[in-house]
Amino acid sequence: MSQTGSVISLEHDTPELARSYDEAGLVQFRHGKFLIGPLAIKSGEHVLDIGTGTGRLAEFVTGLVGPNGRVTGIDPLAGRIEIARLRQSDNLQFDTGRAEDLSRFADGQFDAVYLNSVFHWIADKDRALREIRRVLKPGGRLGLNVQDPSRPHQSRVLLRQAIAEAGLADRRQDSNPVLGSTDEELKALFAANGFTGYRSELRALVDIHDDAASLLRWSEASAFGNFLEAFSATERNLVHQAFAKLVEDRRTPEGLSLERYLRFAFARKAPASN
């Protein structure tokens, strides 16, 4: 992992964060479509959405596989799966589960697997990729997008600055890690785990937020609570105030405009790798 000294916990999520993620989840949905396009999902296919969150993108993919296909979404957070299940249908199923353990699925079951804004959170990426390769059909497609630590989001850079201005820079590493994988790391991981035809592209995405408070709520909900949690309430308040001043400089007539960078990576299960 590229982050130093940080442990991501699945225990910080709350029903409120899950609800707020679903309400603001259009941001991830929008960039998720850039992931789905190149996967060329066809009618009748069986697709696995790992880290499906509240299931918005999986529901969209169900429209691509049609009535003869099937989409399965898994996520470790029970509160998010509870919301996702409101979207459930005959060919769209959701369950709790993690990328590192896909033992409930048979070998060679899926035509395509994708992870939208999920891979940077996975602790054991080798294990996850081994499992994904196992459940893919020979030649099956994998698509994911991931933060690239060499290109942190603008909001992360400003947050780091806000933490420094609040006099808390010495604790920054633990509380504001930049997660993710570089192109070289991804390429090596994919090759080591039996994928072929790796290609990737770093995309700049522009997000518009109403104000600093809504941007911070969105960041916390997207990180299922792994966000500034090492700070006390008073310290967080200081960081929030400094951050609000910094992001206000980015106001455009549409709202606060900030760039995020995501690396989109695609590959196939090597036909003879089973």
C-beta closer to ligand SAM: residue 121 or 266: 121
- Minimum Å gap between C-beta 58 and ligand SAM is 8
Shortest Å, Cβ 20 to ligand SAM: 12
CB-neighbour burial class of residue 102 (10 A; exposed 0-12, middle 13-18, buried 19+) = buried
CA–CA distance, 91 with 24 (Å, rounded to integer): 25
Q: How far is the CB of 108 from ligand SAM (least distance, A)?
A: 21
Q: Residue numbers of the site for ligand SAM (CB under 6 A)? A: 25, 28, 32, 50-53, 56-57, 75-77, 80, 98-100, 116-118, 121-122, 222, 224
Helical spans, DSSP H, in 71-194 = 78-84, 125-135, 154-165, 172-175, 183-192
| Sign of the four-CA dihedral 184, 72, 132, 197 | negative
Q: Least Å distance between CB 234 and ligand SAM?
A: 28
How far, CA to CA in Å, does 79 sit from each of 9, 29, 60, 95, 196?
15, 19, 20, 11, 35
Q: Residue 60 or residue 198: which is nearer to ligand SAM going by CB?
A: 60
Output 52 or 109, the one with its CB closest to ligand SAM: 52
First to last CA, the chain: 26
Give whichever of 45 and 75 is closer to ligand SAM, judged by the CB atom: 75
To ligand SAM, the closest distance from the beta carbon of 272 in angstroms equals 27
Please give the backbone phi and psi of residue 260, each rounded to the nearest 5 degrees, phi first.
Answer: -120, 150
Residue pair 212/236 in contact by the 8 Å Cβ criterion: no
State the Cα–Cα distance between residues 193 and 140, nearest whole angstrom: 14
Closest residue to ligand SAM in the complex (CB): 53
Nearest distance in Å: CB 264, ligand SAM:
13
Indicate the residue among 51 and 149 with the shorter CB distance to ligand SAM.
51
Whether 18 and 86 have beta carbons less than 8 Å apart is answered as no
Q: Which is nearer to ligand SAM, 76 or 140 (CB)?
A: 76
Nearer to ligand SAM, 95 or 201 (CB): 95
Minimal distance in Å, beta carbon 173 to ligand SAM?
A: 20
For residues 61 and 170, give the distance between their C-alpha atoms in angstroms, rounded to a whole number: 44
